[in-house]
Amino acid sequence: MLQPIRLISEAAELAARRHNGMARKGRGNEPYINHLAEVANLLATATDGADAELVAAGWLHDTVEDTDTTREELATKFSERVAALVVEVTDDMSLPKLQRRQKQIEDAPHKSPGAKMIKIADKISNTCARIVPNPSGDAREDLAAYVIWAEKVVAGCRSVNPMLDARFDEAVKAAKSVFEGK
């Protein structure tokens, strides 16, 4: 197995290469890699840097879903645990969006602690990215719908890490102040 710093840096490099040219929703179409960096950093902070495999999985959490990366490739290049965590948080993209979202809500309580942490970090990042100055009516509606759904997913993931729970609550509070006009 790779040394912790190499594991994380190689995961970041693979994530950057595989997501090259992709932009994320919100925040003016910033590079998608910013989302992956934010999720990985939340996980590093939540574990006080003690879980390199979890941080690596944070970098890679969307690679199987969004690119041609395979579970086998991740297991070979990183570790079985990294691959398992990534696959555990990967949506089945053959399902319609509403079905995928409902499945995330239903599956959340049954995830491993590491997968729950990735899910919460992902929802923090995505919620914060949707909070923009002077949002249009459509942006407010998107933010409101996203937060309502994210709260349901995170409800099934809570209590694995108090810091992530608190950061999610802060993100939701900030989002609600935008779409409720407070």
Q: For each of the chain's 182 residues, which pLDDT tens digit applies? A: 789 999 999 999 999 999 999 998 766 778 999 999 999 999 999 999 999 999 999 999 999 999 999 999 999 999 999 999 999 999 999 999 999 999 999 999 999 999 999 999 999 999 999 998 888 899 899 999 999 999 999 999 999 999 999 999 999 999 999 888 76
Q: Which domain holds residue 70?
A: 4-179
Domain containing 162 — which CATH number?
1.10.3210.10
CB atoms within 10 A of CB 54: 23
The verdict on whether 65 is a catalytic residue reads yes
Burial status of residue 73 (CB atoms within 10 A of its CB: 0-12, 13-18, 19 or more): middle
The verdict on whether 66 is a catalytic residue reads yes
> What was the pLDDT predicted at 135?
87
Active-site option among 10, 65, 165, 169: 65
Question: Terminus-to-terminus CA distance in the chain, angstroms?
Answer: 50
Number of domains in the chain: 1
> What was the pLDDT predicted at 180?
81
Quick one: which of 6, 167, 161, 166 has its CA closest to 82?
6
Active-site option among 66, 73, 142, 151: 66
- DSSP string across 32-73: THHHHHHHHHHHHHHTTT--HHHHHHHHHTTHHHHSS--HHH
Residue 23 φ/ψ, nearest 5 degrees: -115, 155
> What was the pLDDT predicted at 87?
98
What is the reported pTM?
0.96
